[in-house]
Amino acid sequence: MNSLETLNQTLFLWINAVDPQPWQLLLSRIAARDLIWLLPAGLGLGWLYGGQRTRLALLGAALAAGLGLGLNQVIALFWYHPRPFEIPLGQTLLPHAIESSFPSDHFTLFMAIACSLMLSPQLRAWGLWLLLPASLVAWARVYLGVHFPLDMLGALLMGAFSAAVMHAWPQPLEQHLLLPLQRVYRLLAAPLIRRGWVLA
């Protein structure tokens, strides 16, 4: 076993749960499984109540998340890293399919969107705030035994890279995706827009 993998497993055992209390198990499972829903909810609300610059930033964030997930799948095709319960190592307290652990898809999504928002001046504060639930997700998925710490480091790098790629192409995004999407949105949401419930 190489030194990096030894470090990875040692850090995992430091974080992985040992006889957790019921409330610890409940909270960590909520963090590991359910906080992910903050992302589509936040993107959706931001679109409904944000202006054009905000929508462009949110579109870039959504595309960065998709790019990050796609790159994760490519990595898994060429390099399979087992999850802790496949070795086996530590305790597994959250059911999970057997698939490559590196990088973490959950944390990649959070970091791609958080980094994208931080690259946008008007949404930088929201990106910084998103680091809090992102950190909870990363910790909980190691704590519950479905990921290694280095899976989270890989996801952080993948999310940051994907955000940087999308941030480099604002004009094509606006011209070829944002404007057509806004036209479709305004058509579908016309009754709500007329009532002032959402922005045009």
> E-strand spans in the chain?
none
CB atoms within 10 A of CB 100: 19
For the packed helices 38-49 and 124-143, what is the interaxial angle rounded to 10 degrees?
170
All residue ranges of the chain with pLDDT < 70 are 1
Burial call 22-53: b when 16+ CB within 10 Å, e when fewer: eeeeeebeebbeebbeebeebbeebbeebeee
pLDDT for the residue 171 = 83
pLDDT for the residue 1 = 61
What is the torsional sign of CA 78, 83, 84, 86? negative
Q: What does pTM read for this prediction?
A: 0.94
Question: How far is 107 from 26, CA to CA, in rounded Å?
Answer: 19
Model confidence pLDDT, tens digit, residues 80-131: 999 999 999 999 999 999 999 999 999 999 999 999 999 999 999 999 999 9
